[in-house]
Structure 1
Amino acid sequence: MSSVTDFLLNRASEPRLEAPAPGTAILEKAFAAASRAPDHALLRPWRYLVIEGEGLNALGELFAAAHTDSNEKKLEKARKKALRAPMVIVGIASPRPHRKVPESEQLLSAGASMSFLGLALQDAGYGVMWRTGDVAYHPTVLEGLGLKAGESVTGFLYTGTVSSRKPIVPRPEVADFVTRWPE
């Protein structure tokens, strides 16, 4: 198999991230890779927001505003979630009506684009962690990020330099999730 397959077999999410985050040239190349996701009818049903610096504090405030509990410790924990990395890239699915391409297919395309983005950043030597959680679906967060009607968050891609690698996660055996049809 190729080096691409070897790379994929060794890919891992990295939750412990610190500065520096990817620079402009790396981001441009990673977003170019993201644009190569399978995309029936070339609809490009995705867009991204890059958040860093003071923007991370604003994102933390959005996370806190989405929290239903007024307990200050819980609100502070919600705020700190945005500070887990020096950069957060928000993936946004932006489907549009099309007679041949259903919304579900466009959402899959947006997810594939997000995955390609993460892989490109990892290939450039950065760590990534794709997160969602309740905040990815909360109207306060969606409005605060400027999502339009019909758009949704595909995830928050935390990225930066890996500060310490997490332990290796056991992977399933192929036979546990693949069968031949018909048997």
Structure 2
Amino acid sequence: MANDDLAALVRTIPDYPHAGIMFRDITTLLLDGPGFAACTDRMAAAVVTPPDLVAGIEARGFIFGAALAQRLSVGFVLLRKQNKLPGRVTGVNYALEYGTDRIEMHADAVQLGQRVLLVDDLIATGGTALAGVELLRGAGAVVDEAAFVIDLPDLHGAQRLRSAGITVHTLLHFDGD
């Protein structure tokens, strides 16, 4: 793996939150200052077209998204769970394995035609990321790139984003085991 040094900083917790799940915990990467800086630098280097804004998905996407926005010298948009933002918001509902959820952003967070880079810590099934793309595009943003620290390719989320016209950048890949 090209980023073995970063992969070594990600802790795997077996059977969390359910039996059979191998949880990839990025908090150990965040505890390592040089590793976190390298992660942000490598994510920034992967971006093809400089964005006008970075949008981070609650909650760990805020950490990497804000760091990446700062590194790229652009603004940062919060994509939050329902009823977490003050003021006027816009949002989209999306399907979960059992039920639905909703993400929202401030209605005036993006301007028509602004290029927005979507960021989260991990891409699994892609449901939340696709909802973020829908939300941003619905507000008039151009979203054609997304960046994640970790891809779980067995769950096909990155492929779902590619099918929606998104170039997906990931640093680490953990196959199911």
- Whether TM-score is above 0.5 comes out as no
Which structure would you say has the larger Rg? 1
- Ranked by relative contact order (alpha carbons within 8 Å, sequence separation 6 or more), the top structure is 1
Per the normalisation by structure 2, the TM-score is: 0.32
Compare the two structures and name the one with the higher helix fraction: 1
Per the normalisation by structure 1, the TM-score is: 0.31
Compare the two structures and name the one with the higher strand fraction: 2
